[in-house]
A and B are shown apart, each in its own frame.
Chain A
Amino acid sequence: MRGLLRLAFKLLVNDRAKYAALLVGITFAVFLMIEMTSLFAGILTRSSATVINIGASIWVMDPAVQTVANTIPLPDYVLDEVRSIPGVKYAVPLYSGSALLKLRDGAYQAANIIGLDDTSLFGRPRLLQGAINDIFAENAFIAVRDSEFYKLENPTIGTEFEVNDHRGVIVGIARVASSGLFGVPTLYTTYNRALQYIPSTRFTISYLLVEPKSAGDVAGIQRQIAASGYLALTKEQFVQKISSFYKYQTGVGTNMLIMTVISFIVGLSISGQTFYTFVLENLEKFGALKAIGAKGHEVVAMILFQAGFVSLLGYCMGVGLCAALIWLARAHLPDYAAIVTFPNLALAFGMVVVIAALSSYFGVRKVLKIEPFDIFRG
């Protein structure tokens, strides 16, 4: 069979024009599919940036919360109630809101403010510069060095700004796992300072962060909190809830899906037609092979090998091209959100398999239909 496949390989690659058209079609389709889905994956990851960066095991919130950015403040008694649930190791409040900063040059800049529990500083970021205890100093804020950092005019330790007519001072520079979705920089401070500096509603707790005593306690904690009329989600569940919101309740998911499907159709059209033409051009030769003594399944194997080879190569080239362009884009555009994930790659691979299968299906049908007698008959 190796000789037959080598024959099939030579038939494919020696027809350079069609081989190039097939490769370009599949590469381009894979590139577009991965680019689209990676962009979407990047957006989804960024939409959950606060959840990922804080890293709490369980998040308690109002059931109406859809995304981490749209908080519905909780009354203080909920904190006490949660702390009293058996299985809770500890529970701390978190402030998450936005504020308008007045920078040194007088420009205004919106920012996310994360207020960490004063006693534990649970969810604090990893510091690149400064000491974490300085967060307790007067007017202290920690700036996050992410893709939006430059919007704070690249502050250093000691850089001052105003927030709601209060003086703010940068006491540390930190890094986090994920940048936010909305293109605004992030500042960390203490929970109480956040309440003090930023206008608040009657209730002030954005989320309660809960650590269970053991993984087995999670379900019980969720049940008890639900009985109180609130919602407790694990980190993964919260990320999933946010993803679902962006996928199904905004136009983002639909638009990305449409673009991905269009990419698939483009790839299928180009490679399908080209491959079908390729088979048609060789149809009589395949008929001659059958007359000489090739069995039907051997000719089918040759065609499937050709489709499989060109699809796999096109897939690899598409992945490489996409990875290179994303790397290049991220090097020059800090806000660029695309992330290549294994599910993206698997989805694109699945679609390439479908392209290969459909492209070869029509060719195989033709080849199986042709009778060696047709070759004699001319």
Chain B
Amino acid sequence: MRSLPVFALLLLALAVSGFGQTLINGAGATFPYPIYSKWFDEFHKLHPDAQINYQSIGSGGGIRQLEAGTVDFGASDQPMNDEQLKKQKTPVLHFPTVLGAVVATYNIEGVSAELNLTPEAIAGVFLGTIKQWNDPAIAKPNPGVKLPAADIVVVHRSDGSGTTFIWTDFLSKGSADWKAQVGSGTSVKWPVGLGAKGNEGVSGLVKQTPNSFGYVELIYAIQNQMPYARVRNAAGLFVKAELASVTAAAAGAAADIPDDFRVSITNAPGKAAYPISSFTWLLVPTRIEDPAKRKDIVEFLRWMLGPGQAMTEALSYAPLPKKVVAKELKAIALVQ
């Protein structure tokens, strides 16, 4: 019995500390999780009364939870389509947060050079029409590189992912055959190849399989010191994936970015643009009933577009171009 008052006191203390704190729940994309958790942590330090809780359960899960009303905001690597938007009870806004890039990585015996690849060649390999590394479609833009007459082992993601969406979206734009036969999505019907789970699965399999060819997020290729190709962009130049060339892709597409920010920036115009780049979005309902939550979410969006953008490069995400930031700041007013 003696422990009861202590227990009650503890409970009271807990209740008091919890009082005045706003707990905001979000869920969705896994790709931006490292920067999001950094942001939410830093934001909490600046605003001790706002606690943002983010579950990286995947873009599809984020959209479904938002629809069910179990979270206050969602996050996705792929913009919601019209059908998904229609199902939401309150209209949902898309806010681009950072940019990511997907790279074509390979492991060719005896080749350490950086390859130049055209979208047609990449699509051909992934369609199974280009079977060997010394195929003219690969060899032509790479004079001086001695490519072996070895069969290409294609490696793709087996789990549904935003990375796959960006990759297949790029291939659909770069190759009519790909668009007709496969299309784009978080999971697709792969004509050839081995499936590996996650970026780490693909990079692991490419690293240990001779003459393999796969795709991973930029940061995984850098971390694992894997070679990755320069890819021909819409302006006809071969560009390497770097934070600057990824931001350039967004800047190139920013000129005609729609008001709802639902846009794909793969194969974006601009000489410096890396063509396999994409935004990732926060999904915020236009009407948030709880005033405290609304205030914190709006404040977070403003902060994320300002000081938050400076933290992206340390984690290998490309920051948003200024034009997009300015446009988003205006769109925040729609959250009521």
Q: Do A and B come from one complex?
A: no
Chain A residues within CB distance 8 Å of chain B: none
